[in-house]
Amino acid sequence: MSTDGTVEEIEDISTVIHDVDGIVSSIASAIEEQSITSKEIAQNIAQVASGIHEANGDISDASIASDNISNDISIVNENSTRVAASSQKVTDNVSSLTDFAGNLKEVLSHYKV
């Protein structure tokens, strides 16, 4: 194998690593945005639940509806927490991939072209 071929393959590997890093960063950003949106939705649902509860006062049907909405809010909050945890995992993976890319660049720097 020629040195030119090796250099091209190393450049190709670096390009792929860079592309993957960009994709992972985009995914992490999208997940983070999704998490923020889910939290806003949960806050909006909580505000609606509060308004319904105040508007209906002590009517028993309103109390049942409020309990159901509260359960839904809890589910949204749990899902939001899961999305945030997934976002953190993606961020951690991006960090690991970045470290890997740095290590690969360091290893590759020992080869003379």
Tally of CB atoms within 10 A around 85: 12
Q: What is the pTM of this model?
A: 0.38
Asked if residue 90 lies in contact with residue 24, where contact means CB atoms within 8 angstroms, the answer is yes
pLDDT tens-digit series, residues 62-96: 677 778 888 988 888 888 888 788 888 878 877 88
